A and B are shown apart, each in its own frame.
Chain A
Amino acid sequence: DARVTQTPRDKVTEMGQEVTMRCQPILGHNTVFWYRQTMMQGLELLAYFRNRAPLDDSGMPKDRFSAEMPDATLATLKIQPSEPRDSAVYFCASGLVQAAGTNEQFFGPGTRLTVL
């Protein structure tokens, strides 16, 4: 049963610290997405990659957030320095995007980040 995995599941850190979240997409999927979910804003797209190349990171605060895919089995989202307003649940999702496809996405369990 193929699944998207994310680590850590929970992270509590202090303001100013660096946070790194990791995601292993489903093998064979060519597109990886990073989302942030809060009660106020709902699910927001931060960035996404196609075949490991960044396609769009316009949803991300660029001064402190960075997203990379060092290889096909790992996507990372870093926040440096972290701020209390970054507290949220961060989801990774992957999908196989094809010319005539339906863009179905499969989500990981999320990383709950609390910045004190």
Chain B
Amino acid sequence: TQLLEQSPQFLSIQEGENLTVYCNSSSVFSSLQWYRQEPGEGPVLLVTVVTGGEVKKLKRLTFQFGDARKDSSLHITAAQPGDTGLYLCAGAGSSNTGKLIFGQGTTLQVKP
């Protein structure tokens, strides 16, 4: 069974601080996605990484896919209150069923 473990589960920081969220597995994924979910809404896709070692940037967010395509990280620079939310990583298997394996999520609170 493929599993994705996210850490930390909860993070509360002050505005302006940097943070990193990790997503780890013993399984290889063909692609990995990061979503952000705000209270009362559905998850919103932030980025998809496909190639081992790939790095993508979205303003102050930097996403990295591990070389072996088993893990990923999300780094936020100078966090802002608007970054508050639940961050979910999700991996796609090689069979291309369309299914995603979701991590349990990291709840981020950025205090002004």
Interface of B is mostly: loop
What are 23 inter-chain pairs, A to B, with CB distance below 8 A? A4-B42, A33-B98, A33-B99, A42-B102, A42-B105, A43-B43, A48-B98, A55-B97, A56-B99, A93-B42, A97-B96, A97-B98, A102-B31, A103-B31, A103-B33, A103-B99, A104-B33, A104-B48, A105-B33, A107-B35, A107-B42, A107-B43, A110-B41
Contact with B along A82-116 (1 / 0, CB 8 A): 00000000010101010101111111111000000
Complex: how many Å from CA A104 to CA B92? 9
Question: Known: A107-B42, A107-B43, A110-B42. Contact between A101 and B96, CB under 8 A?
Answer: yes
B45 near A43 with CB under 8 A, answer no
B44 in the interface (beta carbon within 8 A): yes
Residue of B nearest to A110 (CB): B42
A103 near B96 with CB under 8 A, answer yes
Residue of A nearest to B103 (CB): A42
Complex: how many Å from CA A6 to CA B103? 24
Complex: how many Å from CA A48 to CA B84? 30
Complex: how many Å from CA A43 to CA B102? 7
Instruction: Scan residues 1-52 of chain A and give those whose CB is less than 8 A from a CB of chain B.
Output: 4, 31, 33, 42-43, 45, 48, 50
Complex: how many Å from CA A75 to CA B100? 19
Complex: how many Å from CA A10 to CA B2? 32
Residues on A with beta carbons closer than 8 Å to the beta carbon of B90: 105
Query: Which among A105, A107, A109 has the highest number of chain B CB atoms within 10 Å?
Result: A105
Residues on A with beta carbons closer than 8 Å to the beta carbon of B102: 42-43
CB distance from B7 to the nearest CB of A (A): 14
Complex: how many Å from CA A29 to CA B109? 34
B88 in the interface (beta carbon within 8 A): yes
B50 in the interface (beta carbon within 8 A): yes
B104 in the interface (beta carbon within 8 A): yes
Residues on B with beta carbons closer than 8 Å to the beta carbon of A110: 40-42
Query: Which among B40, B42, B90 has the highest number of chain A CB atoms within 10 Å?
Result: B42
Instruction: Scan residues 1-54 of chain B and give those whose CB is less than 8 A from a CB of chain A.
Output: 30-31, 33, 35, 40-45, 48, 50
B97 near A106 with CB under 8 A, answer no
